Amino acid sequence: MRVVDPRRTGGPKYRLIAGGHRHAAADGLGIELPADVWKCTADQALLMEIDDNIAGPGMSPLDTAVFLARRKRVYEKLHPETAAGAFKGNQHTGRLVADTMSFTTSTAEQFGLTDRHVRRVVAAGEALDDGDIEALRAAPRPVTLKDLAQIAKLGDPEDRRAVCLALSAGELAGSRVKSAAQAIRVLSDPDARAAAVNDPVEQAFKALLSAWHRAPKAARMRFAREEKDQLVSVLQSEALIR
């Protein structure tokens, strides 16, 4: 079943917001699917898109953490009374926020999870920035929820980035690592931590990654066009493309 959102200004009249995989599969078979048309705000449409991704098969722990953290931000924007620290009412209001389902409870019920599991996954997702996520996606070994929980406990952003890069590269300060716990143990050695944090190659990589994620799409496209030959040369030298 496709779900589409009517656009009121510019562009196509309808936009697909959920059911993309089903739509693609049906198109490949030449089958037309019925569509539910929802009149909704941009935030409501985003929430449906996120829910469709979370409910899909094969979601990795990393993707689940990222999507649930994003879902929390959107949900609390739509329901500010459920956010932590929100006004809970008083003796004059007669209505308390306790009557409103919290994000954690709502998400746990919707996806068949426990409240504790939702809190752990969201905490892991909220601790990661774009650079951390990019590094973890490139890890040769699947990143587990246990890895993400360990990373979320790190208060220093430099330490978090060092652990994420270690998982991505499979090593840290000359030591092989297969889990976040191993990387954190390596970082507990002051000399190893200094080497990891102050390594010029790592610092240059961080700067490049940070600049890429901060840049708008138009700037990224211009960079790719102007540096295409060098990028292709590097990728070929590393046997990443033919």
Q: What is the mean pLDDT of residues 66-90?
A: 76
Q: pLDDT for 98-157, tens place per residue?
A: 444 688 888 888 888 899 999 999 999 999 988 889 889 888 888 999 999 999 999 888
Partnered with residue 5 across adjacent β-strands are 15
Per the CB < 8 A criterion, the answer to whether 197 and 162 are in contact is yes
The DSSP-derived string for 6-64 is E-SSSS-SEEEEE-HHHHHHHHHHT----EEE----HHHHHHHHHHHHHHSTT--HHHH
**How far is Cα 18 from Cα 3, in angstroms, rounded to an integer?**
5
Most confident range, picked from 16-20, 47-51, 84-88: 47-51
Contact 15, 72 (CB under 8 A): no
Q: Which two tokens stand for residue 212?
A: 């890429």
E strands, the chain, where? 2-6, 14-18, 35-37, 171-172, 175-176
Mean pLDDT of the chain: 79
pLDDT at 207: 66
Q: What is the pLDDT of residues 28-50, one digit of tens each?
A: 888 888 888 877 787 888 888 88
Q: Which of 135-139, 165-169, 214-218 has the lowest mean pLDDT?
A: 214-218
